[in-house]
Structure 1
Amino acid sequence: KNPVIFLDMPLLYEVKYDSYVDETWLVYVDPVTQLTRLMKRNGYSESEALARIHAQLPIDDKRSLAQVIIDNTGSPEETQKQVFVAWQALMDRIKG
């Protein structure tokens, strides 16, 4: 019904797929939170987590390239509210 396709692609910019999409959204956290969450979620040591992070474009570089930034440093409810607002704005743009 809606002409929208979402790609959940952490390496979107690294593999140059951003050239295939009309708009990019980034779920952003600061680098310290990114490291802490990755270690906790995946059970990585700090060096393992840093190796994963350093294999990607730095998140702050991705932030400068994305058209929509979802700040994921707050509560899940705050993040969900931002996604809802961004989704509504997208739907308004599509409907013209």
Structure 2
Amino acid sequence: IPLLYETGGEKFCDRVVVVACSPKVQLSRLRKRTSVTSAEAKQMIGSQMLLEEKIRRADHVVWNNGDRTSLMEQARFLVASWQGQTWMKK
């Protein structure tokens, strides 16, 4: 969910997974997706909560600097680690 922490939406979630990537990858993907200038993309990224803070607050972090196969492997590992666990926060 975009801007989950910025809008206080995490209080409605039992767990939060932050999908993170390097600043270089983030900038490249944003520019490709939105066709904005580098300066505009940096401004958009700068208006969000720092990645370090999102990671600190997250229950889990998945790194997405690579391809979809790598992302899927991490997602499968994360889901497997949840097998048999309760989803309710204590």
- For normalisation by structure 1, the TM-score amounts to 0.80
Cα displacement string for residues 21-75 of structure 1 (whole angstroms, at most 9, x for unaligned residues): 1210011101121111111121111111112112210122211111111110122
Q: What stretches of structure 2 of length at least 5 have no aligned partner?
A: none
Task: Give yes or no for the alignment of 1:83 onto 2:79.
Answer: no
Using CA pairs below 8 Å that are at least 6 residues apart, which structure has the higher relative contact order?
2
Number of equivalent positions: 87
Shift of 1:90: 2.1
2:29 to 25, 37, 57: 37
Aligned match of 2:60: 68
DSSP-derived class of the 1:26 partner: strand
- The one-letter amino acid paired with 1:39 is R
Q: What stretches of structure 1 of length at least 5 have no aligned partner?
A: 1-8
* Residues in 1 aligned to 2:31 and 2:84: alpha-carbon distance in whole angstroms: 38
* Residues in 1 aligned to 2:37 and 2:84: alpha-carbon distance in whole angstroms: 44
Task: Give yes or no for the alignment of 1:54 onto 2:46.
Answer: yes
Shift of 1:82: 0.4
RMSD: 1.6
Identity of aligned residues (%): 26
